[in-house]
Amino acid sequence: MALFPGKPLDAVQASLDILQSLESFNATRALTDLPPIKVGMGLNWGSVMLGTVGEEERMDTTVISDAVNLASRLEMVAKLNNIQVVTTQSTLDQIKVTLPFAHRTILRGKVKGKSELLTLVEIFSETTDPDYQAKLDTREMYTRAMDAYHRGAIAESKLLFTEVSVILPADQPTKNYLNRCNRYLDKGLPDGWDGFERLDDWLARD
């Protein structure tokens, strides 16, 4: 875990620098037939409570808050979906300059115990993501597929996500949505459907 007391852009830039360094490191590993190392990072913005915990023989400094808990969940989203960097739209909204990187919305949902809607965003770099151009090319179609999903137009959503999967066959978020679409087409939508599932359900079910 790392804290960035300055601007959220500092955290984003640090994550992209890490990925760039990892590219060079993996190139060295490839020379000796070692497998590449992958990382997934979750970035979030918000207030934290910082302090020391423990006792005289063992002290540690840590931070706690809802923002920290969500960052941990975002890291898990990155891991389970083979994504390099995941953040929230509210974090990106804190960056008041033209964004010097590419991004796409991958999920809208809610955190357990919270009522506000959460929008998760993938950040991807042309120099470190082999699917960079394909993600740009399918970004609008992916968003349309999500919108149809939230409206409950599951057949339309499945059709659009299937089109995305033709261009991005290994994209895990797309696979997850297709799994959901197939489930709801088979069993029907749950009562009270509003399209915005809990993030914890996303992590547990797909």
Summarised one tens digit per residue, pLDDT across range 73-132 is 999 999 999 999 999 999 999 988 888 789 999 999 888 777 788 999 999 999 889 999
pLDDT at 200: 77
- pLDDT of 206 higher than 60: no
pLDDT tens digits along 138-190? 999 999 999 999 999 999 999 999 999 999 999 999 999 999 999 999 999 98
Examine the domain organization and report whether 86 and 96 are in the same domain.
yes
Could you list the residue range(s) of the whole structural domain that residue 190 is in? 131-206
- Single residue among 129, 162, 180 that ends a domain in this structure: 129
Examine the domain organization and report whether 94 and 149 are in the same domain.
no
pLDDT tens digits along 28-77? 999 999 999 999 999 999 988 888 877 778 888 888 888 999 999 999 99
Examine the domain organization and report whether 15 and 93 are in the same domain.
yes
- Count CB atoms within 10 A of the CB of residue 41: 23
pLDDT at 45: 93
The residues, any chain, with a CB within 8 Å of residue 171's CB and separated by 6 or more, are: 131, 135, 164, 165
Examine the domain organization and report whether 112 and 179 are in the same domain.
no
What is the reported pTM?
0.89
Q: 26: pLDDT confidence band, cut at 50, 70 and 90?
A: very high
Examine the domain organization and report whether 33 and 97 are in the same domain.
yes
Examine the domain organization and report whether 24 and 37 are in the same domain.
yes
- Single residue among 69, 100, 129 that ends a domain in this structure: 129
Residue of higher predicted confidence among 192 and 21: 21
- pLDDT of 205 higher than 60: no
pLDDT at 204: 59
Number of structural domains found in the chain: 2
Examine the domain organization and report whether 90 and 186 are in the same domain.
no
- Single residue among 103, 129, 155 that ends a domain in this structure: 129
Two structure tokens written together for 112: 């357990």
Examine the domain organization and report whether 121 and 140 are in the same domain.
no
Examine the domain organization and report whether 146 and 162 are in the same domain.
yes
pLDDT at 21: 95
φ and ψ at 116, to 5 degrees?
-75, 150
